[in-house]
Structure 1
Amino acid sequence: MSQVVRFDYWLDPAFNRIISAAPGVTLQTCAREGADRAAWEALAQAQVLQITAAKDELPRRWFVSAELLARCPKLLAVSSSGSGCDTIDIEACTRAGVVVMNQAGGNADSVAELALGLMLAVLRRIPESDALLRSNQRSFSREDLMGHELRGRTLGIVGVGETGRRTAALGRAFGMQVLGVDPALDDAEMSARGAQSVSLDELLRRSDIVSLHCPRNASTLGLMNAAAFAAMKPGSIFVSTARGGIHDENALHAAIASGHLKGAGLDVWDQEPPPASHALLRLPNVVATFHTAGVTHEARRNNATLAAIQILQLLSDGERPERLVNPDVWPRARERIAAALGH
């Protein structure tokens, strides 16, 4: 029997249903708090760990670190619930011969839709209008809430993976010119994904809207700092549905408060949820959401289904995962999987 372990964070029921129905596979759900001994015992016997991608949903001791891997010698694979791997030390997994899988693209439609929603909310000043209508103040005119259209503007996308590709398509549907930067794509592939390939400097200089869709890693942490915001076009807006830490929150606040940027739409934060006293939440031209870009019924069901199917393919056939995050691990991981499961 192969054992899959997960913790008791919310996961669409499709995951449990698919894994539990598979012959030769058991599923154990462990408590995040209050039963550590039982959780460690389960992890020590597990072949696969299904883990949340959200860093603030899980106590740090359950993050996939070198220390955890040392206590889990039978572990063959770690599966993220989303496209991000903030709770997984990918390099440590590679050194240990452990496969890391994600669900890249599973929630791309949901994230792209919210990114466009944030753009509209900021430019059309939707939250400001809503707040005024709910207040006792009535000394304002429609012109006091005048905003801007998306059509004719330039959208700059940082990271043109599956979500970036879908955001580009929505941007074009609204009549925007789309620029893109992604070190993994050449000019031809960027064009095929609906964006004109440019450097980051050019994207910041030309874009009316800069939207982040890149992963959080060593090369992107702090990417949008004070210098980057200063390089953005005066009066432009910033949107992120990527990950907290890629943009500097203090630098962004300064850029908006000074009037250099018109506003921002933020779904991701250094701390999630951010404290109510956060300086960015006090700005009327910042539209804030709680890392919900990929949290729709459709996206959660899709990601859970993709994760379960990918796990079962690995356990039953030893197939190379379609969404393998650390491809360098595969030769060694394949040998470990064959030895453990007889493939």
Structure 2
Amino acid sequence: MTVNRKRLVFFERWFHPVAEDILGAQDDIELVRLHYGDPEPENWSALASACGYQVAARTELKEPWFGTAELLSRCPRMLALSSAGAGFDVIDVEACTAAGVIVCNQSGTNSQPVAEHAIGLMLGLTKRIAFTNRALLQGTAQDRFRLTGSNIMGKTVGIVGIGYIGRLTAKYCRAFDMRVLAYDPYLSAGEIAARGAEKVDFATLLEQSDFVSVHCPRTDETLRMFGAEEFARMKPGAFFVNTARGMIHDEEALLAALQSGHLGGAGIDVFDVEPPPPDHPLLHFDNVIATPHIAGATHEAVHDMSKAAAEQWLALLRGRVPPRLVNPEAWPAYSARFEEIIGFRPDPLLAA
């Protein structure tokens, strides 16, 4: 009996080899590893015959292998693109929908470590952990009261985007008896209350929060949503934390708000260019803790994300509705293309 093998391509490696173990063992899936250093014509040839493309995270992904309209135009058999993590800003979702290509992500699979990281940055900033460590190393810690930090207990935190990660961050903040505000225009006050926060508008969140923690995706709507005006509106001495995506905040505006002393500090896991160069000015403030987009990349999380991605590909390529579908509006056109390319009709969307 002839097996209808579906080609799935990826560049270099998955976050964790468990994905290759799962997918490589399937008779009906041809898993193909590509390399950025190989000749472009060879990579384009492999992509042109693929039904699926696992797109690497932005930090590792190289041009021209983003999920663009141009890539789709050169891949007539392409049915689905999947991002490595929760974010899918490396994929042009609108172009995919127009082409009858579905987009998936791994939303929810690394929520816990990112929320933990956000709390860790808040604690590190208020307790001045990085600064006091450097003071000890530099021999300038003789007067310990000069290094005094503050509590987060009872303070107000404003969460921007209260999805999987935001709601866990809210939960952890409540363990410190913090007042939790949330700005999320896509959720009602009741839905936000069920996630452990009080719904407020963006201006109120900025004005009332001692900590602002960003947990929204990077989209056209959220790009540069934190600029000079927004930082100026934050409480004097407040802390800004971004574990979501670079370019949601304007780095120059954040730099100015820190230089002026208006903000008390910042915890930044994401940058416009990743990793940032060693001379990046934000890395040289005593009241900034910076990490290299590592919040969601714990040992446990990279395993879980890769396993979830592999299992989603199994479901998708066998005609089932993937559990983390980003653009359900593409399903009708996708279903017709799937039947034409694979030979049978996938499940209806309502079966999800």
Give the TM bin, normalised by the shorter chain: over 0.9
User: What secondary structure, in the 3-state scheme, does the structure 2 residue paired with 1:264 have?
Assistant: strand
Matched, 1:14 2:13: no
- Structure 2 residue aligned with 1:176: 178
The alpha carbon displacement at 1:322 in A equals 1.5
The alpha carbon displacement at 1:241 in A equals 0.2
> Are the counterparts in 2 of residues 53 and 83 from structure 1 also a CA contact under 8 Å?
no
The alpha carbon displacement at 1:184 in A equals 1.4
**Equivalences for 1:79-94 in 2 at 5 Å?**
79-94=82-97
In 2, distance between residues paired with 1:263 and 1:109?
24
Matched, 1:25 2:46: no
> Are the counterparts in 1 of residues 7 and 31 from structure 2 also a CA contact under 8 Å?
yes
- Structure 1 residue aligned with 2:47: 43
TM-score, with structure 2 as normaliser: 0.94
In 2, distance between residues paired with 1:44 and 1:328?
24
- Structure 2 residue aligned with 1:71: 74
The alpha carbon displacement at 1:135 in A equals 1.7
User: What secondary structure, in the 3-state scheme, does the structure 2 residue paired with 1:179 have?
Assistant: strand
> Are the counterparts in 2 of residues 281 and 288 from structure 1 also a CA contact under 8 Å?
yes
> Are the counterparts in 2 of residues 76 and 98 from structure 1 also a CA contact under 8 Å?
yes
In 2, distance between residues paired with 1:287 and 1:9?
29
In 2, distance between residues paired with 1:18 and 1:183?
38
Letter in structure 2 aligned against 1:3: R
User: What secondary structure, in the 3-state scheme, does the structure 2 residue paired with 1:62 have?
Assistant: coil
> Are the counterparts in 2 of residues 53 and 86 from structure 1 also a CA contact under 8 Å?
no
In 2, distance between residues paired with 1:289 and 1:296?
13
- Structure 1 residue aligned with 2:320: 319
Letter in structure 2 aligned against 1:335: A
**Equivalences for 1:290-309 in 2 at 5 Å?**
290-309=292-311
The alpha carbon displacement at 1:136 in A equals 3.2
TM-score, with structure 1 as normaliser: 0.97
The correspondence for 2:282, drawn from 280, 283, 287, is: 280
The correspondence for 1:222, drawn from 221, 224, 235, is: 224
In 2, distance between residues paired with 1:59 and 1:31?
10
The correspondence for 1:149, drawn from 144, 148, 151, is: 151
The alpha carbon displacement at 1:10 in A equals 4.7
User: What secondary structure, in the 3-state scheme, does the structure 2 residue paired with 1:60 have?
Assistant: coil
**Equivalences for 1:195-234 in 2 at 5 Å?**
195-234=197-236
What CA deviation, in whole Å up to 9, does each residue of 1:89-147 have, x standing for no partner?
11111111100000001100010000000001111000011111112335x32211111
User: What secondary structure, in the 3-state scheme, does the structure 2 residue paired with 1:190 have?
Assistant: helix
In 2, distance between residues paired with 1:254 and 1:46?
47
The gaps in structure 2 that reach 5 residues or longer are: 346-352
User: What secondary structure, in the 3-state scheme, does the structure 2 residue paired with 1:39 have?
Assistant: helix
The gaps in structure 1 that reach 5 residues or longer are: none
Letter in structure 1 aligned against 2:332: P
**Equivalences for 1:249-288 in 2 at 5 Å?**
249-288=251-290
What CA deviation, in whole Å up to 9, does each residue of 1:44-100 have, x standing for no partner?
11100001132x312220111111111100000001110111221111111111000
In 2, distance between residues paired with 1:288 and 1:332?
43
In 2, distance between residues paired with 1:244 and 1:314?
30
> How many pairs are equivalent?
340
In 2, distance between residues paired with 1:239 and 1:120?
11
The alpha carbon displacement at 1:17 in A equals 0.8
Letter in structure 1 aligned against 2:11: F
In 2, distance between residues paired with 1:336 and 1:142?
67
Matched, 1:131 2:127: no
The correspondence for 1:110, drawn from 78, 95, 113, is: 113
Give the fraction of aligned pairs with identical amino acids, expressed as a percent.
48
In 2, distance between residues paired with 1:281 and 1:212?
19
In 1, distance between residues paired with 2:110 and 2:335?
28
Instruction: Please provide the CA RMSD for this pair.
Output: 1.1
User: What secondary structure, in the 3-state scheme, does the structure 1 residue paired with 2:33 have?
Assistant: strand
In 2, distance between residues paired with 1:86 and 1:246?
12
